[in-house]
Structure 1
Amino acid sequence: MFSSLKIRNYRLFFIGQVVSNTGTWMQRIAQDWLVLSLTGSSAAVGITTALQFLPMLLFGLYGGVLVDRLPKRPTLLVTQSAMALTGLALAFLTLSGHVQVWHVYVAAFAVGLATVVDNPARQSFVSEMVGPEQLQNAVSLNSANFQSARLVGPAVAGVMITGVGTGWAFLFNGLSFVAPLASLLLMRNRDLKAVHRAPRGKGQLREGLHYVAGRPDLIWPIVLVGFIGTFGFNFPVWLSAYADDIFHAGAGAYSLFNTLMAVGSLIGALLAARRGTTRLRVLIAAAAAFGLLEVVAAVAPSYWLFALLMIPIGIFGLTVNVTANTAVQMGTDPAMRGRVMALFMMVFMGGTPVGAPIVGWITDAYGPRVSFALGGVIAALAAATIGVILARIGDLRLSFDWNHGHPSVAFVPREREQLATAA
């Protein structure tokens, strides 16, 4: 489960990300709650989320082209430093009492700009640290790292917001970037896997899109995470609205919902690290379960039932993310990985600027329950539709059988099913 941590460079990277991710989650919780307290509007929370992910939608593919050209470690030193400065600036404005909602909007957009390059650089840098044999394990542990921080960050942020205010959460996030910057500086260049960098030239963006378009095993997982990222992952809008409007429980409840979802996400990440193989059928099943659980949670009548449902939602949501991410990375030529992962992240994260304001408006107009349920329905329908498409492409049929007295349902090749029928 933890085999890639034996590699020194990856171990340094992992430790640095634990600290930084904790600060990132603290800032996310503080940012959403600050906007809600300044405006009283779920739509404003949605706009903040949209602004943070809008740069990925607008410039994500160009970020991938840059990442394929540039050395990853120096690139990450620049992007991580930029995000640290943004957190410190927001902390100064909040602690000095001058913060306004447009300051938060600008900060969210600035973080999004840095993420355009930082995200594909971090994703593709993993393969340089660990090599192809440990790639799935390292990707899964990255997600476990992120979700472990998600356990600590919201809890600490909830205490900090109620105790001393949101500004201290922003300050912690700004200072937390010291850890990943130090880890990058301490790495050994000689231990990194040599990767051919794409030379500067015309048509590289078009080349990346053409590469993905000709690969059904890449394009359909990317389409699926696009639907789920756009309509199924708007938790800043939903959970803040449930905490404030449905259960009237305040920032502590919002922090608890995020923490319980992180518990599930951590479980999902560790299971993915242990699994060892990536199958698209796991991706489809997890996406369908994720959507259906959102529908169930939307109509949950009690506070604690809703809170506990965040755990399985976290498990299946993370399984979707890790499985799609690993399948796309492992199926991509290293020279194209920056562009392909930029497209993956652009679709997954870039859909939020489209979905978040719509979800925020539906939440304000029709209530959190309707909005949450609609997101789950869209995710489940997308999983079912793409599952059928992939089955047709792979010439598969749904097979029902009995195995030791228990029903068994699986996709099998048509030829195998025909041979079984003939026998």
Structure 2
Amino acid sequence: MRAYPLDAARARVADLRSVFAVPAFRTYIFGNFAMTNGFWMQRIAVGWITWEATGSEAWLGLVAFAELFPSIFTALLGGALADRYPSPRVLFWGQVLSGLIALAFCLLHLTATLTPYLILALMSGMGAISGAVIPARLSMASWLVPKPLLPTALAVNSTSFNLSRFLGPAFAAGLLIAGSAALVFLVAAMSFAALSVALWRIRDVPRTGESRRTAPPAGMATVLRDVIATPAIIGIILLQLAQGMLVRPASELFPAYAEAVFQRGEFGLGALSGALGVGAVIGALALSGARETREAVRQIFTMSVVFAVSLIAFALTGTFWLALVILVVHGIAMSASNISALAFVQLNTAPERLGRVLSLYTIVFRVGPAVGAFLFGITAEATSLMATGIGCGIVALAVTAALFAFITRNLPRT
């Protein structure tokens, strides 16, 4: 019996070797790791200079809204682009444009002309670009590796993203402490350039496996009808919307927490973001692959409860180091619940409508944090960060319980 875990570990190592033996995937994943570090560095710098310029929780929420909301609309265009053109090429042009925006941030900050309204405009542009390339980004693993290796490739990509969630803020905090926000933006621009170079090298790599097929045309009405046919999918998507509106926005207010609650400045901002990133990496690595439907639902909702409870605990504590520990737990729950929910949707959706259902999932995943960050910031400014965090956590728990009851009631009997 002891051989089973060892055999599983050996199989995982073999899959990892096979994935990294694919030259195009290896080129992409290292370039993408550089880019995601720059992405998180830029987000930390934008949040900090917004807080320094305004001292307003509402402005922090508004900037987060400006980044996320435009992507809801451009994601539909991105789906059409990903269906028509090779994913590496679509993603390449997105990185070029993102790099130009990072350079604009750098130059405007150096010349002391970066106003809050210009920050809003630039982040709106970044959000629009992000939405346009999301479908291509999500399909990169399936484009580059054989289908049997797809789960391993996705796990590598998720771990890479969450590791950069820890490293990027740490690098950014160090540069901000040194007074070099412009250098943060320059490094971010270089990271976008690094992925652009990697994508240019693999721009003509054909899709692995079967030839690319044109997706059937589908409007939002068709997507909604497909989702309504599966109540469990509706429940999981609504859960992601609730988490996005009520729990995830707290991380957008980290600059306010670092300065107003913990009095730790740039160091505190980097530490808070880094602790969340450490937890997210642990959650991605430790997640069990529950495939039986009821077990998967229990796993999703257990992590969702921990996600909400840890927000309440974070809002209540005034001790910085305890807050970091809580955020590690928060990050574990965030990562595990998100990955489990996405896997559940994919495993329980018919292949012929998977793309359309995932397009709705993506839009919901973006609109929740966009609206939530804006409302969280306004509410925190009108009341307090503590009251807003506690209130959002309690409402999230109530919504989670209601959705769990709804989903389990509609699951097929086994």
Please give the TM-score of this superposition, normalised by the length of structure 1.
0.86
Which amino acid is the alignment partner of residue 119 of structure 1?
I
- Comparing 372-381 with 104-113, greater Cα deviation is found at 372-381
**Of the candidates 8, 19, 22, which is equivalent to residue 37 of structure 2?**
22
User: Cα 1:269–1:96, aligned 2, differ >3 Å: closer, same or farther?
Assistant: same
- CA-based RMSD: 2.3
- Note the C-alpha offset of 1:245: 1.2
Q: Please show how residues 170-249 of structure 1 align to structure 2 within 5 Å.
A: 170-187=185-202, 189-190=205-206, 192-198=208-214, 203-249=218-264
Match of 1:409 in 2: none
Q: Please show how residues 243-392 of structure 1 align to structure 2 within 5 Å.
A: 243-272=258-287, 275=289, 277=291, 279-332=296-349, 336-392=353-409
- Note the C-alpha offset of 1:17: 1.1
- Note the C-alpha offset of 1:190: 4.2
- Note the C-alpha offset of 1:198: 2.5
- Note the C-alpha offset of 1:263: 0.7
CA contact (8 A) 2:76 2:132 kept: no
Structure 1 Cα separation of the partners of residues 230 and 216 of structure 2: 24
Structure 2 Cα separation of the partners of residues 44 and 374 of structure 1: 20
- Note the C-alpha offset of 1:41: 0.5
1:36 aligns with 2:51: yes
- Note the C-alpha offset of 1:90: 1.1
Alpha-carbon displacement from aligned partner over 1:87-133 (angstroms, at most 9, x marks no partner): 11111111222211111111110011011121122112322323443
Structure 2 Cα separation of the partners of residues 389 and 133 of structure 1: 34
Q: Please show how residues 31-70 of structure 1 align to structure 2 within 5 Å.
A: 31-70=46-85
User: Cα 1:14–1:280, aligned 2, differ >3 Å: closer, same or farther?
Assistant: farther
Aligned residue pairs, count: 395
Which amino acid is the alignment partner of residue 347 of structure 1?
V
1:128 aligns with 2:143: yes
Alpha-carbon displacement from aligned partner over 1:303-349 (angstroms, at most 9, x marks no partner): 21112111010001001111122233344456655443332221112
Match of 2:131 in 1: 116
Match of 1:82 in 2: 97
Name the SS of the counterpart of 1:307 in structure 2.
helix
Structure 1 Cα separation of the partners of residues 356 and 100 of structure 2: 27
Q: Which runs of 5+ in 2 are unaligned?
A: 1-11
Q: Which runs of 5+ in 1 are unaligned?
A: 397-412, 414-423
CA contact (8 A) 1:56 1:112 kept: yes
Which amino acid is the alignment partner of residue 223 of structure 2?
G
Name the SS of the counterpart of 1:327 in structure 2.
helix
**Paired-residue identity, %:** 26
- Note the C-alpha offset of 1:156: 0.8
1:96 aligns with 2:100: no
CA contact (8 A) 1:50 1:356 kept: yes
